[in-house]
Structure 1
Amino acid sequence: MVEGIFVDPQQISDMKRSLGRGLAGWRRRRGLTQDDVARRVHSTRSTVANVESGRQVVDRVFWVQCDSLLQASGELITGYDEYRFLEVRHKEEKAEAARQARWGAVLDHQAIVEASAADRGQDRHTSLVSAVSGPANGLRRDRRSTSSAEVGFPAVMDEVGGLRRSLHEALSMGAVTAAGLDEWERIVAHHGRATRDHSTGTLLREIAGDLGELTELIGRSPSASALRRLTGMAAQMSGLMCLVLCRIDDRTAASQWARTARLAAVEADDPVTRSWVLAQEAHVYYYSADFRETVNLARHAQDVAGPEASVGTVLAAAIEARALAAMGKREETRAALGHAEGLLSRLEGDSLSASAFGYNEAQLRFHEGNAYTRLRVVDAALAAQDRALELCSPGDYTDWALTRLDRAICLTRMGQASDAVESLAETIGSLDGAKRQGIIAERARIALDGLPPTQRSSSTARDLRAALADVR
């Protein structure tokens, strides 16, 4: 039992004021006003003023940006991290003290009962609630206190990693609950649609927040049918996390979430979801330039789903074609694209929706255009790109941008480098900083590197490089 609160609230207030004084000191040292700082870190003058006076702390993204802007050598970030650690610890101690005061005797009795049940082998799921509820609750608490700043993701990545480990552990232990299953399926479907037009920063926070709650639910299942449904949803949500992390080019975290998604799909005994998860994992290997493993995973994704066409099998066939094209295997690429075309013709209903859980002609034409761009078959690439851009919805910025960047590469190969530069400038200029990140920024750099020397050294190309210089 907790005997008292170990973190002094006054200590937290003192740290807030110290943080603010540190920011003000570095700002003055660099000769900047509060307005200058606010403008450059995408905040407001009143926020900067409140932080400097100790009335406000805001999130870690703000401190990372200020530390970089003011060249504080990590001092501001370290100060924030120490403050946040102390604040979280203080809240946990208060919650634990209140919980023990109210429920201590009951919980002590419950622990004895659960230990006895475990010794008798009666319920292998009992301990799961305590294993997952802490990290999940911690993520939700931080989620409420984190702003929607979209420049970089350090404020949530550590928590996302911890959440993945908690979910993975929960799934490994096999316990699942039935609670609001229909509503949860609607939530999962919403996140799938949001992947088409939401920025990666927004997606990361929203999916992580709901995964925290789903992780808690997985700890309290009374029925096998509920277990199967919720575990399938966990596979889908973990696959979405893999997709988002792949977009921002965090390959290690994306691979970890792919493994957790695969585990969940196997536990759910759902070959269709398993195929889709494997296709998402194949994307991670594709963007890591491990094309052989991409092909292996893509073919495995098609095999596990059986003879029926599904979103996973079409997506896997398309990513297989892109990897084969990167390996220079022209005939095999065409065969894989033909197979994807045939599978797509057999999809219907929600499987054709504009969602991470759907696949339609717009997506196939994007993948086809990328494959032919890789093969340097310019005419076929341009035809596929034209159709992809015709079908692509205005908000689907990832496929739209990547298609146009492939088109710029093709224009360069056709000797139309000035048109390529103009297309690059229009594409990158239409995206804000949050939407330029990851695989889009990397593809833009490849397109710029492919320009002939004259165009590469033009003022427009230099401006584009500058715009991408600080993009992850």
Structure 2
Amino acid sequence: MDPQELSDVKRALGRQLAGWRSTRGLTQDDVARRVHSTRSTVANVESGRQVVDRIFWAQCESLLRAGGELLGGYDEYRSLEVRHQEEKAEAARHARWGAVLDPAMIAEASLPDPAQDPARALVSPEGASGTGADLTVAIAEVDALRRSLNETLTLGSINASGLDEWDRILTHHGRATRDRSTGALLRDIAGDLTELIELIGRRPSASALRRLTGMAAQMSGLLCLVLCRIDDTTAAHRWARTARLAAIEAGDPMIQAWVLAQEAHVHYYKTDFREAVEVARHAQEIAGHRASAGTALAAAIEGRTHAATGRREETRAALGRAENFLSHLDGDALSASAFGYSEAQLRFHQENAYTRLGEVDLALAAQERALELCSPGDYTDWALTRLDRAICLTETGHATEALDSLTETIGSLDEAKRQGIIAERARLVLDTLPPVQRSSSTARDLRALLTEGR
């Protein structure tokens, strides 16, 4: 194959991107921000100097509504590139061994090594205890799965048998996010995602492939959620991008809205508030502002983000949309699950927004309702609500009561459950206490407890 042909296709693909961008009236900076890239990368792609990965092109396809032209052009380029590389490798093999080995031996030397298949990377059943080195290993292993999933999503399919069972597995993981520790969740979700990747690679029917790809999007979103909870926002953001790619390929706007809401959550905890608002609004728009767990969550996160930047009117408007979405939900959409959205979750998001704004009376009322509705096992929302309550108690002159409540809250959680955003929030509460309480032996002991496993 002529290498010039490959270069021509690359440049043509770049011109297509530039053309669609101009048609939509966007700058290179606009595109870069929306697809989580840089202006220089967009410029290099448009000039034919770079191609980058499929996630970039899937996001550009969705953003620019290019009718499949950009993604199709990328796939054509990659197909030619693979062919070119195979031809070069074959020529090199013949140059090295042609005079020594017979053709059958050369062909055998060309077979791939199954041990190098990234889809075979499994998470150790004994790993991911939730703390220290084990958790670090688990995170590294699920990131290997993320890379494998990126490469596998569009390569093939599987028959439709067992899809209902996979729905059941997915539902189980969604419910488990409410009460299971992070390490156990990482291990279990990663183990099932390994099998799902293999199923996607078995070339099923088109309808089965869409369902499986949607499940891959949701599992990726769950990993994003779990990693966000332990405050590993870098890994969480990578999984959010993978979830986006899978949701786009599944073609389900409600799944897209849900994974975008998870991504907005990551930006919120990264304190990238502008991006959090933009992604949360995109989640609501892509679903046509129809009520779903994803749109309700996205609106609530938008409200919390506005509160973090002191925008009172915008906060109330977004929380009002979340309440309106919630009022139209029923059935499984109201379940205590990562895939549902309930009044308990809304009151938690509401109280956190009011706490951020310093509107103590509204925050305390929402906290009381959130704690009344919160399931006993839902330790994350329960703990974060009580920590916000301690902040409000401090602001109303009840610092000793705030410290007692903080100590009781953290003391009731085991080490695996108090890591990540809970520990970070608890340290913030300690820092807001007046000097007398902050320097007490209770506060010192509590701070030492919060450093365990870091």
Q: TM-score, normalised by structure 2?
A: 0.73
> SS of the counterpart of 1:196?
coil
Kindly state the Cα deviation for residue 135 of structure 1 after the two structures are TM-superposed.
3.2
CA 1:219–1:411: 2 relative to 1, 3 Å = same
Displacement after TM superposition at 1:469 (Å): 1.4
Mapped partners of 1:131, 1:347: distance in 2: 47
In structure 2, give the amino acid aligned to 1:452.
P
Is this contact kept in 2: 1:351–1:358, CA < 8 A?
A: yes
Match of 1:4 in 2: none
User: Are residues 1:206 and 2:188 paired?
Assistant: yes
Distance in 2 (alpha carbons) for counterparts of 1:133 and 1:229 = 28
> Is 1:150 paired with 2:130?
yes
CA apart distance, 1:147: 4.9
Aligned: 1:414 with 2:396: yes
Report the CA distance shift for 1:186/1:274 in structure 2 as closer, same or farther (over 3 A): same
Question: Residue 317 of structure 2 aligns with which residue?
Answer: 335
Is the 1:177–1:230 contact (alpha carbons within 8 Å) kept by the matching residues of 2?
no
Distance 1:160 1:437 in 2: 19
Cα distance between partner residues in 2 of 1:387 and 1:316 = 21
Give the conservation status (yes or no) of the 8 Å contact 2:243–2:259. Answer: yes
Query: Residue 290 of structure 2 corresponds to which residue in structure 1?
Result: 308
Q: Does structure 2 conserve the Cα–Cα contact (< 8 Å) formed by 1:279 and 1:301?
A: yes
Q: Give 1:179 deviation, angstroms.
A: 4.0
Say whether 1:134 aligns with 2:117: yes
In 1, distance between residues paired with 2:419 and 2:362?
Answer: 28
Residue 83 of structure 1 aligns with which residue? Answer: none
* Native 8 Å contact 2:303 2:319 kept in 1: yes
Counterpart residue number, 1:281: 263
- Measured after TM superposition, the shift of residue 443 of structure 1 is 0.4
Letter in 1 for 2:124: R
Q: 1:338 to 1:196 in 2, by over 3 A?
A: same
CA distance in 2, matches of 1:446, 1:132: 47
Name the residue aligned to 2:353: 371
List runs of 5+ in structure 2 lacking aligned partners.
1-103
Q: Specify the alignment match of 2:332 in structure 1.
A: 350
Q: Which of 369, 387, 396 matches 1:405? A: 387
Counterpart of 2:167 (choices 185, 188, 196) is 185
Counting matched residue pairs gives: 347
Name the CA shift for 1:307/1:291 in 2 (closer, same or farther; >3 Å).
closer
Are the equivalent residues in 1 in contact too, given 2:128–2:137 (CA < 8 A)? no
- In 1, Cα distance between the equivalents of 2:204 and 2:214? 16
Which stretch shifts more, 151-160 or 308-317? 151-160
1:389 Cα deviation after fit: 0.2
Structure 1 pair 371–206 and aligned structure 2 pair: CA distance change class (3 A): same
Letter in 1 for 2:441: S
Among 145, 158, 163, which residue is 1:163 paired with?
145
Which position in structure 2 is the counterpart of 1:434?
416
Matches within 5 A, 1:259-270: 259-270=241-252
SS in 2 for 1:435: coil
Residues 148, 255 of structure 1: CA spacing in aligned structure 2 closer, same or farther, 3 A cutoff?
A: closer
The answer as to whether partners of 2:128 and 2:186 remain within 8 angstroms in 1 is: no
Aligned partner of 2:255: which letter? T
Per-residue CA deviations over 1:409-452 (Å, capped at 9, x if unaligned) read 11111111001000000000000000011000000011000001
Do the aligned partners of 1:163 and 1:212 also contact (CA within 8 Å) in 2? yes
* Whole-angstrom CA distance in 1 between matches of 2:136 and 2:412: 25
Identity %: 70
Residue 306 of structure 2 contacts residue 312 of structure 2 at CA under 8 Å; is this kept in 1? yes
Question: Cα offset for 1:158?
Answer: 1.9
Which AA in structure 2 matches 1:242?
C
| TM-score normalised over the length of structure 1 | 0.71
Please tell me whether the aligned partners of residues 311 and 358 of structure 1 are also in contact (alpha carbons under 8 angstroms).
yes
Q: Distance in 1 between matches of 2:417 and 2:115?
A: 32
Q: How far apart in 2 are the matches of 1:298 and 1:449?
A: 30
Q: Where in structure 1 are there 5+ consecutive unaligned residues?
A: 1-107, 116-126
- Provide the residue aligned with 1:16 in structure 2: none
Deviation string, structure 1 residues 217-242 (Cα, Å, up to 9, x no partner): 11012310111000000000000000
Q: Which residue of 1 aligns with 2:179?
A: 197
Q: Distance in 2 between matches of 1:316 and 1:166?
A: 28
1:448 maps to 2:430? yes
Structure 1 Cα separation of the partners of residues 328 and 420 of structure 2? 33
Kept after mapping to 2: 8 A contact 1:200/1:434 = yes
Instruction: Give the Cα–Cα distance (whole angstroms) in 2 for the partners of residues 447 and 143 of structure 1.
Output: 36
Q: How far apart are residue 177 of structure 1 and its match?
A: 4.9
Distance across 1 between alignment mates of 2:422 and 2:304: 16
Does residue 467 (structure 1) correspond to residue 438 (structure 2)? The answer is: no
Which residues of 2 match residues 11-410 of structure 1 at below 5 A? 134-139=117-122, 142-144=123-125, 146-147=126-127, 149-152=129-132, 153-173=135-155, 175=157, 177-410=159-392
Runs of 4+ in 1 over 6 A off after TM superposition: 130-133
Inter-partner Cα distance in structure 2 for 1:449 and 1:459: 14
Q: Which moved more, 1:339-348 or 1:214-223?
A: 214-223
